[in-house]
């Protein structure tokens, strides 16, 4: 599977909105999976400090070396996630990126990308399927296509 917007749209992903628009969006409250995309033709210059919220005193910032090591060349998708309630989860993710102390640690690396206004989120409901299983299938397919997980998906590569 290719992880481009046209292929993902054909697979049922909808939305394609910036994070600040999630509250007013038609994002469903049901369970499903989501992708976060970022338009960048070359490896970005990462921010030294995350704009993500500190939760329980823990700094969400990753080292520049770790960010560079996690970067996946030529991949639009920078994170694949799952949620039992999509709108709630994506709102939490957006709030974390706005600096609020939310315990949304997964995907935190995206908040050190330059121009986070270029991040788009799309989702797909998974009726009759467990979102965790669908997420695992998508990440496995991404690994087959690119040789590693999406940029912000594997905190174990950070030693975290």
| Residue 50: half-sphere exposure toward Cβ, Cα within 13 Å | 24
23-73 pLDDT, tens digit each:
899 999 999 999 999 987 677 899 999 999 998 888 999 999 999 999 999
Q: Is 74 left (phi over 0), alpha (psi -120 to 50) or beta?
A: left
| Structure confidence at residue 158 (pLDDT) | 47
User: How far apart (Å, rounded) are the C-alpha atoms in residues 74 and 58?
Assistant: 31
Counted residue by residue, the chain has a size of 160
Question: Residue 160's pLDDT is what?
Answer: 43
Q: What are the pLDDT digits (tens) for 78-132?
A: 999 999 999 999 999 999 999 998 877 788 899 999 988 889 999 999 999 999 9
């Amino acid at each position: 599977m290719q992880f481009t917007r046209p292929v993902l749209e054909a697979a049922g992903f909808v939305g394609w909105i910036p994070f600040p628009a999630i509250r007013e969006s038609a994002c469903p409250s049901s369970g499903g999976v989501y992708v976060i995309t970022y338009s960048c033709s070359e490896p970005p210059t990462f921010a030294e400090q995350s704009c993500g919220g500190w939760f329980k005193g823990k700094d969400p910032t990753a080292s520049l070396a770790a960010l560079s090591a996690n970067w996946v060349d030529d991949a639009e998708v920078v994170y694949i996630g799952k949620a039992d309630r999509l709108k709630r989860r994506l709102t939490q993710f957006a709030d974390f990126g706005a600096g609020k102390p939310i315990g949304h640690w997964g995907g935190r690396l995206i908040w050190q990308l330059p121009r986070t206004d270029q991040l788009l989120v799309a989702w797909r409901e998974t009726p009759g399927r467990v979102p965790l299983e669908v997420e695992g299938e998508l990440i496995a397919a991404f690994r087959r296509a690119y040789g590693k997980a999406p940029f912000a998906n594997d905190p174990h590569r950070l030693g975290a």
